[in-house]
Amino acid sequence: MANNLMLSRIQFAANISFHILFPTINIALCWFLLFFKVRYRQTGKETWMRVYRFWVKIFALTFALGVVSGITMSFQFGTNWPGYMETVGNIAGPLLGYEVLTAFFLEATFLSVMLFGIGRVSDRVHTLATLVVAIGTTMSAFWIIALDSWMQTPQGHTMIDGVAHATNWWQIIFNPSMPYRLTHMLLASGLTAAFFIAGISAYRLLQGDPKPAPKLALKVSSTVALVLIPLQIFVGDLHGLNTLKHQPAKVAAMEGLWHSDSHVPLVLFALVDEAEKTNHWALEIPSLASLILTHKTDGYIKGLNEFSGEHPPVAPVFYGFRIMVATGLLMLLTAALLVYYQYFHSRVKQSPQQQKNTAQGLPRWLLKLTLLMTFSGWLATLAGWYVTEVGRQPYLVTGVLKTADAVTTVPSSHIALSLALYLTVYGVLIVAYIKTLFVMAKRAIALENDQGNNQKPQHKQPQEKLTGEQDYAAY
C-alpha cells in the first residue's frame, strides 16, 4: 500500500504539473488577445490585428493541450483515488461538472468564432467572442480553485456515515482561503502569459524581425508584468496570513520553523534536515518572519513540533516556496529593465557602436535575458502549486480525508506502468509544444516585411480573411 500511495501521488503530480502549464498561460492570454482586438478597433492600426492573429493561433494550440491533459487527469479520480470521490464526491462532482460546462460551452464554442470568424462575422461579434472565451477561461479557473480551496479549508458540509454532504454551497464555494487563492492564481496566470509573450517576442527581435508587431507585443506584456508583480507580492502576503490562520503547519514548513517561538527569523536559505529536525547553514534575518506573519517583531508562531505526525514533508514546501519567491524577484527585475529601456532609455541617442548591440532599439543582452525568462511563469507557478498541495499533506481534504485513505488498491506494478507511459507522452508533448512555438515565430520572421502598419484602413472591414502567405505575412 505504501508503494501505491507514493506512485499514485507521483502520477497525479506529474499529470497536474503538465496540465497546469497550459491553463496558466491561457487564462490570461485570452485577456491579452481581447486587449489587442479592442486596441485595433479603437485605433484602426493594422499592427494590433497582426499581433492578435499571431497570438490567437498560439492560444488555440495551448488550449488544445490543456483540454487533452485535463481529461486524462480527471480519470485518475477513479483509477488512483477511488476513496476521494466516495468520500467527497457529493461536493467535488458538482464543482468539477460546472468547470466542464464552462470550459466546453463557453470556451470551446466561441473559440471557433475567434479562430475562424474573421471575415465571416462582423468585427463586433468577433470581439464579443474573444470576450466570452476570456470569461470562460476565468470561470473555469474559478470552479477549479473553489474546489481546491475547499479541500484546503473545508466548510459548509456535514459528514454522514463517512461521506461529506453539502449543507451550504455558498460556504463551500467561498471558503476561507478561496478569495486569496483565486486572486493569487489569476495574477500568476497574468505574469506567466506576460513573460510568455515577452520571451517569444524577444526571440523574434533577436532573430532580426523588422516588423513592429513583436516590439509592440513586448512593450504591452512587459508593462503588464511590471504592474502585476507588486500586486502579486501584496496578495501573496495576504494569502500567507490567511494560511497562517487556517493551515499553520504549512506555514511552519514554508518557514522551516521546527519549534514554536517568538522573534522568529526569516530563513532566506538553509539545508533542511528532517531527520534531525533542524536547519544547517541557515542564512537568516532576525525577527523578520514574526514581523511579516504577525506584524510584530516578537510575534509568536507555531513550529512543526506542535503538529507531530500531522505536518507536511518539510523540504519540498520549504524549497518550493523559495524557488517561487526568487523567480518572482527575477521577473520583477527583468520587467523593470524592459520598461526602462522601452519608455525612457529609447529617447537617448545611441552611438553607431551601441546600435550594433541593439535590436529595434533594445539591448541584445536584455532581449536574451527576456528570452530565458519565457517560461519563468511556469517555474514560479509549479513551485507555488507544490507548496500549496504538498503543504496540505497528510490530508487530501484537510481534517476530513487523509491521502492514504483514498488511494487505490490495484497492484503497484500497474500504477508504475501507467506512470511511465504518462511521463513518456508528456515529455514528447512538451518538447513538441515548445518547438512548435518557435517554429511559428520563425515562420513569422521569414515572411515578407510588414508594410503600412500604422495606416488607418480605408474600408470598414480591414480584418478580411487572409489565406496562405497573406495570412502568415500578417504576423
Q: What is the DSSP track for 173-241? A: HT-TTHHHHHHHHHHHHHHHHHHHHHHHHHHHHHTT---HHHHHHHHHHHHHHHHHHHHHHHHHHHHHH
Kindly state the cell numbers that stand for 406: 483514498
Q: How far apart are CA 387 and CA 249, in angstroms?
A: 12
The dihedral formed by the CA atoms of 223, 224, 226 and 230, expressed in degrees to the nearest 10:
150
Short-list 148, 123, 121, 129, CA closest to 23: 148
Angle (deg, nearest 10), helices 46-79 and 212-246: 40
Report CA-CA distances (Å) from 155 to 52, 151, 178, 465: 43, 9, 11, 52
Q: Which segments of 102-177 does DSSP mark as H helices, in order? A: 109-116, 123-152, 169-173
Contact predicate 95/147, CB 8 Å: yes
Amino acid at 146: A
pLDDT given at position 180: 95
pLDDT by residue for the chain (475 residues), tens digit each?
A: 568 888 988 898 899 999 999 999 999 999 999 999 999 999 989 999 999 999 999 999 999 898 888 878 777 877 888 899 999 999 999 998 888 887 767 777 888 888 888 888 888 999 999 999 999 999 999 999 999 999 999 999 999 999 999 999 999 999 999 999 999 999 999 999 999 999 999 999 999 888 899 999 999 999 999 999 999 999 999 999 999 999 999 999 999 999 999 999 999 999 999 888 999 998 999 999 999 888 888 889 999 999 988 899 999 999 999 999 999 999 999 999 999 999 887 555 555 555 556 666 788 999 999 999 999 999 999 999 999 999 999 999 998 999 989 888 888 888 899 889 999 999 999 999 999 999 999 988 877 444 444 444 443 444 434 433 344 344 4
Contact predicate 258/274, CB 8 Å: no
Compute φ and ψ for 416, nearest 5 degrees: -60, -40
Q: Which segments of 153-177 does DSSP mark as H helices, in order? A: 169-173
Q: Which residues contact 416 (CB under 8 A, 6 or more apart)?
A: 7
Q: How far apart are CA 327 and CA 347, in angstroms?
A: 30
Kindly state the cell numbers that stand for 18: 503538465
Contact predicate 181/145, CB 8 Å: yes
Q: How far apart are CA 153 and CA 149, in angstroms?
A: 6
Kindly state the cell numbers that stand for 442: 520563425
pLDDT given at position 360: 67
Kindly state the cell numbers that stand for 21: 502549464
pLDDT given at position 464: 39
Q: Which residues contact 435 (CB under 8 A, 6 or more apart)?
A: none
What's CA 30's distance to the chain center, in Å?
13
Does residue 394 have a cis peptide bond before it, meaning omega lies within 30 degrees of 0?
yes
Short-list 269, 313, 348, CA closest to 5: 313
Contact predicate 206/367, CB 8 Å: yes
State the Cα angle at 309 between 304 and 313, rounded to 5°. 65
Q: Residue 285, Cβ neighbours under 10 Å: how many? A: 12
pLDDT given at position 471: 44
Report CA-CA distances (Å) from 291 to 240, 300, 384: 13, 10, 22
User: With DSSP H G I counted as helix, E B as strand and the rest as coil, what are the percentages for the chain, rounded to 5?
Assistant: 70, 10, 20
Short-list 250, 240, 393, 253, CA closest to 315: 253
pLDDT given at position 361: 75
Compute φ and ψ for 246, nearest 5 degrees: -105, -25
Q: How far apart are CA 343 and CA 223, in angstroms?
A: 10
